[in-house]
Amino acid sequence: MTFETKDYFVRLHEYSPKNLVLKNPVEKTFGNVTFLQSEIFYKNHKGEECNFYLEGPKQYTFGIQPNYGPNVQKEEDKIPENIKGYQILYSMTGMKTIDEPTQDEFYFMNTLRDIRKQISEKAKTQEVLDILEGTTQMVMRNDPENGVKPVFAHPMKEDPRNKKKKIPDASKPQKLYLKLLTKRNKYSSCVEIDTFFNGPGGRDLNPLDLVEVRGHFIPNIFVKGIYWGSHGNKPYGASLQLKLYEATYTPFQSRPKRRYLEKNKDPIFEETVDNFVNPENDNDNDDEYETKSINPLEKLNQWGNEANEDTKRDSDESEGEEENEEEGVEVPPTPKPKTKLKTKPRTKIMKSRKVKVIKKK
């Protein structure tokens, strides 16, 4: 009969060192790789060992970043099929609080420091040293305090005195890389993200939409365990394994944070049919631009009536001329109007024509 392990979520200021439980190293296998791992639990108020989840303070982040592994260096090789996992960069402090962290930042850093310290104390025990082998055993026996990899650290920069050497950049916040919960799709061979992201308004966010999208987030970190073994060319024999279980994420909007120009005070107006097609309203003085809302159907009726009146007036004049010619009355020639230079109107003039308006019943 198996019992399911309970979960325990530790709030930011609720961590107690005496409730932390570190198990002895056990041999694990992942694919073709065999390694040693210790499970980490946290006791609840009943003294039961539970899975350990830890809350972190709200911080700035550059977004989710794909991890291609050390073998992928060229840009053309960075394709979804070569992604090994995803991670997110978590700053332990803000840029303005590097030297004087806030209360939440200070407490969270001390929590992780205490966990690392307890791992070093665990490595000193003869029970653990007997399980470790080779270089890992030697490192943890000689210097257990420094043999555990730091959980967070300053980013590295080039040493101005020796360009081949890198040193910590104390002008930038200390960083913590959190791996996301992932799994590989057996059909597409692509990595899928299982970490939950909750956005503004309580809506769920697609993690792939947050790749390299800056924002603020509050992490819920799953303290998975301790990895015992070599760390490449680094002088470490153990490291704390952390996973991002869920996060409250607020992406930054793509707009300036602060406005410097004055507020636009121009009036709001509507483009009307009358102002667009009627040259009589074409006025060079933009301040006297007539703005009004009209019903298009009423305007069509108005145009139709004007066109009919013009046509009727033209027909009456032509009939009068024909009657005068029959009676022998000389009709004086119609004087031509004097032409005046006019500027070309900016709008197209509509010719008068009969418009048949069909009203819908």
The span from the CA of 166 to the CA of 146, in Å, is 19
CB-based contacts of 324, cutoff 8 Å, min separation 6: 331
Q: What is the pLDDT of residues 329-354, one digit of tens each?
A: 455 555 555 555 555 555 444 554 55
β-pair type (166-168, 156-158): antiparallel
The helix (run of H) or strand (run of E) holding residue 192 is strand 191-193
What is the per-residue pLDDT for 327?
Answer: 47
Bridge partner residues of 222 (DSSP): 53, 243
The span from the CA of 237 to the CA of 149, in Å, is 8
CA terminus-to-terminus distance, the chain: 79
Residue from 231, 38, 29 nearest 136 by CA: 231
Read off the amino acid at residue 182: T
Residue 91 has phi, psi (to 5 degrees) of -85, 130
Q: Whole-model pTM?
A: 0.68
What is the per-residue pLDDT for 131?
Answer: 92
Q: What is the pLDDT of residues 104-136, one digit of tens each?
A: 999 999 999 999 999 999 999 999 999 998 888
What is the per-residue pLDDT for 314?
Answer: 59
Identify whether the C-beta of residue 173 lies closer than 8 Å to the C-beta of residue 93: yes
What is the per-residue pLDDT for 29?
Answer: 87
The CA-atom distances, in angstroms, between 52 and each of 25, 40, 63, 223, 338 are 18, 7, 24, 5, 97
The helix (run of H) or strand (run of E) holding residue 38 is strand 33-43
Low-confidence ranges of the chain (pLDDT < 50): 1-2, 256, 272-273, 275-277, 279, 281, 286-293, 324-329, 347-349, 352
Cα-Cα-Cα-Cα dihedral of 13, 14, 15, 20, to 10°?
A: -170
Read off the amino acid at residue 44: N
What is the per-residue pLDDT for 334?
Answer: 56
Residue from 37, 44, 34, 38 nearest 14 by CA: 44
The dihedral sign for the CA sequence 280, 284, 290, 296: positive
